Amino acid sequence: MNFTQSKQLQEKSHALIPGGAHTYAKGDDQYPEQAPGFIVRGEGCHVWDVDGNEFIEYGMGLRAVTLGHSYRPVLEAAYRQMQCGLNFTRPTAIEVECAEQFLSLLPGMEMVKFAKNGSDVTTAAIKLARAYTGRDMVGICADHPFFSVDDWFIGSTPMAAGIPKAIQDLTVKFRYNDLASVEALFDQYPNQIACLIMEAETATPPADNFLEQVKALCHKHGALFILDEIITGFRWHVGGAQRCYNIVPDLATFGKAMGNGFSIAALAGKREIMELGGLQHKRERVFLLSTTYGAETFSLAAAMEVMKIYEREHVVDFLHQQGRKLIDGINQVISDAKMQDHFAVLGRPCNLIYATLDQQKERSQPFRTLFLQETIKRGLLMPSLVVSFSHDDSAVEQTIDGIGQALHVYRKALDEGVEKYLVGRPVAPVFRTYN
């Protein structure tokens, strides 16, 4: 493939934009040197870059696009609302309509506040928990990769530059499916932890009723239990993983797939907690969420249309169905290439990832880069294996075939050395202290 225009635009972008992109996960350091640098168009599960190369995509806007790029009914719903205006001095009726529709999907959640980004609502949840409990410390799941761009989380990562140590020290960690680590936190910091925040599930499902046990420990020690459903919402179930596991958190955050790419997020929770950000109480006021663009009418219209489509078309069932086809097909080509010890598909069918392992069966960034490089050559753009409602059987078949070809190169690299086949430097983790 020819990436001439991408290379030229990359030079310009780095001169104008720190990192050359506005999202770290989309940066050049996350992709091989031979990769599309800039996307100009998308339709369904296909995208085209500035050089005219076409790809089947499996990042889907960092999991924000579950129906497909340029999905017509959602675009039309947003456009109809745009014609009535985008933003006004007072609330709009659609804010109430969208809130009612959204909360109908979440038994146990009684109030909602909309925003634009996942970080907006996770940070609002932390603030609300601190105000409700009168405590400062936050417990986060160490096995879950990302919760917010804000100081309370970023200060706990290797990219903590610029975050005061006093803020860093307020965030502590526990391990997923390790109840003893949760108990140890509460024992170490008695009456100090405001909340625990975690995803319900990433690549590993909860074991031994872990979610319910964590919730019970939180309540025993006077802390709130927060589920981050930014990814699991509208993928595991239209009402999130909490519906799959029949658990009601104190607060829950949603985003990504809510608007099929339109910017919208939500903080939902129990009335007695959420109302602290409102007017109908006599406690100290909480500046919960107040965003100029949080309730833009067209994003709310898009979200309402997404919710209707999900319930009418059984979208989540389709995501699981296509994900299972990918798992079966890829496992077959893994077996054919004798790669069982070096490449694996992980996670729930609706939200798959893959692991690239070296000769010692250890996670390897160079081999991840090689796999990305070889799948890009075959028309696949796949930092993950996230399917959408637009990934039909033809796309899945092409993907399995392309992965099979890429794994044959991978097999040779295991035998002869990855440096023989890899063009340029390997990709790097987003969270690292130095470039």
pLDDT digits (tens, 9 = 90+) for 4-27: 999 999 999 999 999 999 999 999
- Predicted pLDDT of residue 8: 96
pTM surpassing 0.85?
Answer: yes
| CATH 3.90.1150.10 domain position(s) in the chain | 4-70+314-420
pLDDT digits (tens, 9 = 90+) for 158-195: 999 999 999 999 999 999 999 999 999 999 999 999 99
pLDDT digits (tens, 9 = 90+) for 241-282: 999 999 999 999 999 999 999 999 999 999 999 999 999 998
- Predicted pLDDT of residue 272: 96
* Neighbour-count burial of 101, counting CB atoms closer than 10 A to its CB (0-12 exposed, 13-18 middle, 19+ buried): middle
Please give the CATH number for the structural domain made up of 87-295. Answer: 3.40.640.10
Q: What is the mean pLDDT of residues 296-303?
A: 97
CA–CA distance, 108 with 271 (Å, rounded to integer): 10
Pairing assessment for the beta strands 171-174 and 343-346 based on DSSP bridges: unpaired
Count CA within 13 A, CB hemisphere, residue 413: 26
Q: Which two tokens stand for residue 69?
A: 């790029």
- Predicted pLDDT of residue 110: 98
| CATH 3.40.640.10 domain position(s) in the chain | 87-295
DSSP 133-186: HT--EEEEETTS----SSHHHHTTSS--TTS-HHHHTTEEEE-TT-HHHHHHHH
Average pLDDT, the chain: 97
Strand partners, 43: 46
DSSP 353-379: EEEEB-TTS-B-HHHHHHHHHHHHHTT
In CATH, what class is 4-70+314-420?
alpha beta
Residue type, 318: F
Instruction: Using the structure block, give the residue that is written with the tokens 């919760």.
Output: 147
User: Nearest 5 degrees, angle CA 116-CA 72-CA 237?
Assistant: 60
pLDDT above 70: percentage of residues in the chain: 100
**Cα dihedral sign, 98-99-103-104:** negative
- Predicted pLDDT of residue 36: 97
Q: What is the mean pLDDT of residues 285-300?
A: 93
CA–CA distance, 174 with 185 (Å, rounded to integer): 7
Strand partners, 115: 265
CA–CA distance, 310 with 297 (Å, rounded to integer): 20
- Predicted pLDDT of residue 261: 96
pLDDT digits (tens, 9 = 90+) for 340-379: 999 999 999 999 999 999 999 999 999 999 999 999 999 9
pLDDT digits (tens, 9 = 90+) for 77-115: 999 999 999 999 999 999 999 999 999 999 999 999 999
CA–CA distance, 106 with 126 (Å, rounded to integer): 20
Q: What is the mean pLDDT of residues 214-228?
A: 98
Q: What is the mean pLDDT of residues 401-421?
A: 97
User: Nearest 5 degrees, angle CA 52-CA 57-CA 60?
Assistant: 120
CB 295 within 8 Å of CB 91: yes
CA–CA distance, 249 with 233 (Å, rounded to integer): 14
The pLDDT confidence band at residue 203, using thresholds 50, 70 and 90, is very high
CB 55 within 8 Å of CB 46: yes
- Predicted pLDDT of residue 149: 96
- Predicted pLDDT of residue 61: 95
Q: Which two tokens stand for residue 101?
A: 């529709």
- Predicted pLDDT of residue 191: 98
- Predicted pLDDT of residue 159: 95
CA–CA distance, 265 with 253 (Å, rounded to integer): 7
- Predicted pLDDT of residue 173: 98
pLDDT digits (tens, 9 = 90+) for 112-156: 999 999 999 999 999 999 999 999 999 999 999 999 999 999 999
